[in-house]
Amino acid sequence: MSESLSKQHATATVNSLLSTILPGASKIVPGKSRASRNKGSNAQLINKHLKQVVAIRERDVHSIKKREHKARRKILKTKQAEMDAIDQTAKLEILRKHQAEGTLTNRERKYLNKVISKNIRGLKSWDTNDEELQELQNSVLGHAMEAKMRPKSKTKRRSKKEFNEERQSNKDHRYPGLTPGLAPVGASDEEDSSQEEDEDSY
User: Is the pTM above the cut of 0.95?
Assistant: no
Tally of CB atoms within 10 A around 24: 6
Point out the residues of the chain with pLDDT beneath 70: 1, 23-26, 30-40, 127-129, 147-154, 168-202
Q: Are 25 and 18 in contact (CB under 8 A)?
A: yes
DSSP strands (E only) in the chain: none
Please state the domain extents for the chain: 1-32, 43-104, 105-156
Using alpha carbons only, how large is the chain's radius of gyration in Å?
A: 50
The residues near 183 (Cβ < 8 Å, ≥ 6 apart) are 189, 192
Q: Please give the distance of CA 108 from its chain centroid, rounded to a whole number.
A: 54
Mean predicted lDDT score pLDDT of the chain: 77
Q: Please give the distance of CA 113 from its chain centroid, rounded to a whole number.
A: 50
Q: Express each pLDDT in 105-160 by its tens digit.
A: 888 888 888 888 888 888 777 766 677 778 888 888 877 777 666 656 667 777 78
Sign of torsion over alpha carbons 111, 113, 116, 121: negative
Terminal-to-terminal C-alpha distance of the chain: 115
